[in-house]
Amino acid sequence: MNEKQVSSSSQPILPSKKQRELLAFIEAFIAQRGYSPSYREIMTGLNYNSVATVSVHVNNLIKRGQLRKRDHSARSLELLSKPGLAKITSNQVTPSEEKWLIEKIEHVFVQAESLGQESLQTTLNNLNVLISALRILGLEGAAQGFTARLNSLKSQYPQ
């Protein structure tokens, strides 16, 4: 079957065994490290003989709509679909969304700092969740700044 037939088919084509192994490797790598593997890391991890083999499999999965390579840059592979699961979307945040989110977290901090010790625990838990959300969204710098502030707030009101 040629690539034109593959792309025009209404039924999704399941990946081959090698392609499933590649998808599983990429998924596990991203889950463990938070970024996608390089072609050389894929080659080593799956015991392929060349980076060209990795490239062939990756390009076929991109054509099938199961992988995406953002901006043709290094370590930018993203899983797009998995049988039975919804399409994975990027966690990219626009600058205006980032500003809004940071302002909202700042507001929660101001409220927490004005609360008494008895009402503080729930707010501290909420702040932990918000800071984790920043990390998930890739805003590690903001998360680190807020973590230091949260730790300072926790030390003022020991449990």
Distance CA(78)–CA(91), nearest Å, equals: 11
Q: What is the mean pLDDT of residues 13-18?
A: 77
Whether pLDDT at 51 is above 50: yes
Lookup result for tokens 């984790």 = 132
Task: Report pLDDT for 88.
Answer: 43
Q: What is the mean pLDDT of residues 7-12?
A: 50
Instruction: Quote the mean pLDDT of the chain.
Output: 78
Say how far residue 40 (Cα) sits from the centre of its chain.
Answer: 21
Domain encompassing residue 12: 3-79
Whether pLDDT at 1 is above 70: no
Whether pLDDT at 54 is above 60: yes
* Residue 69, beta-bridge partner list: 77
What tens digit of pLDDT does each residue of 76-119 get?
888 876 544 444 455 667 788 888 888 888 888 888 877 766 67
Distance CA(65)–CA(60), nearest Å, equals: 9
Enter the tokens of residue 95: 């600058």
> Does residue 73 sit within a domain?
yes
> Does residue 90 sit within a domain?
no
Largest CA-CA distance found in the chain, in angstroms, rounded: 69
Task: Report pLDDT for 152.
Answer: 83
Q: Mark whether 99 and 149 lie in a shared domain.
A: yes
Q: Mark whether 146 and 102 lie in a shared domain.
A: yes
Q: What is the mean pLDDT of residues 120-137?
A: 82
Q: Mark whether 25 and 59 lie in a shared domain.
A: yes
Q: Mark whether 53 and 107 lie in a shared domain.
A: no
